[in-house]
Structure 1
Amino acid sequence: MKHPKTIQKGLDYIVAMDATELSPFEIRELLRKTVTKRFDVIDQIMLAARKEGIITDKDGMCHFTYEAHDLDFYKPKIIHSKEINNCRCCGRSMKESHYIELKSGLLGPYGSTCIRKLYLDYLFEEL
């Protein structure tokens, strides 16, 4: 299904998460830190993820059902850049930025501490 760019980034990020289950609040908070601060767009991403079968609700938790969705999985990459920026997650000033490269675009910038809090641990095994 074709989605607006921000919704697609949110779906790509959810697919890339290395988690089996999270609370709806945790997913919404991660989307707020990565994709958009607009709660109405976060609601649209969550709705699209349920419609696509990426997540299912059970016992108050969101369970990730990656095998059920038909989105093409593009393994994201972490891009490191030496530039002065503010972390999208915590707002701190930094000299080295990290970005998440998804099929639908870049997310970031993030500091080295915050990038490791985004449920993408498997990407750091290669570094």
Structure 2
Amino acid sequence: MDAEERVELAVELLAHVEADELPLSDVVDRIETVTTNPTLTRDILDAAELRGVIDREGGTIRTRRGGTYVRFEEQVVRREGEFDCRRCGASISTGHFVRFETGELGPFGSSCIRKVLGRE
């Protein structure tokens, strides 16, 4: 996946965050499931702000797209196999993958998928 694809996938992930407001550290935690490159992380935040997905105010990020939550039944796919969670690095036998229009993000364990999507 190239840098442009990572930016698109991360912006779409941010567009589906289920919280109205998050600390920047929580947003970066989600972005790190796509990239850990600090320059690319800044590019993602800039792109999300330019597209009206988020507003940045100091260390707080406000989401601007209500109602675009991930539908677990339709957008989260479970696969059996040997995986490492993209968020915490744990070995998992059931991977949860989120299908976005721009691509697929995962695998995640059952608790990490909820954290990435803002359900915990």
Q: TM-score normalised to the size of structure 2?
A: 0.84
Question: How many residues get paired?
Answer: 113
- Following the alignment from structure 1 to structure 2, what is the Cα–Cα distance between the partners of residues 60 and 88? 24
Q: CA deviation at 1:91?
A: 1.0
In the alignment, structure 2 segments of 5+ residues that lack a partner are: none
Q: Partner of 1:101 in structure 2?
A: 99
- Following the alignment from structure 1 to structure 2, what is the Cα–Cα distance between the partners of residues 52 and 24? 18
Q: Partner of 1:36 in structure 2?
A: 35
Cα-to-partner distance string for 1:4-57 (whole Å, 9 max, x where unaligned): 21111011000111110112221112111x211111111100011111111112
Aligned with 2:82: secondary structure?
strand
- Following the alignment from structure 1 to structure 2, what is the Cα–Cα distance between the partners of residues 66 and 30? 17
Q: Are residue 24 (structure 1) and residue 40 (structure 2) matched?
A: no
Q: CA deviation at 1:58?
A: 3.3
In the alignment, structure 1 segments of 5+ residues that lack a partner are: 68-72, 122-127
Q: How does 1:2-17 map to 2 (within 5 A)?
A: 4-17=4-17
Which one is further off, 88-97 or 111-120?
Answer: 111-120
The answer on whether the counterparts of 1:74 and 1:103 sit within 8 Å (CA) in structure 2 is no
CA RMSD of aligned residues (A): 2.0
Structure of larger gyration radius: 1
Q: CA deviation at 1:116?
A: 1.3
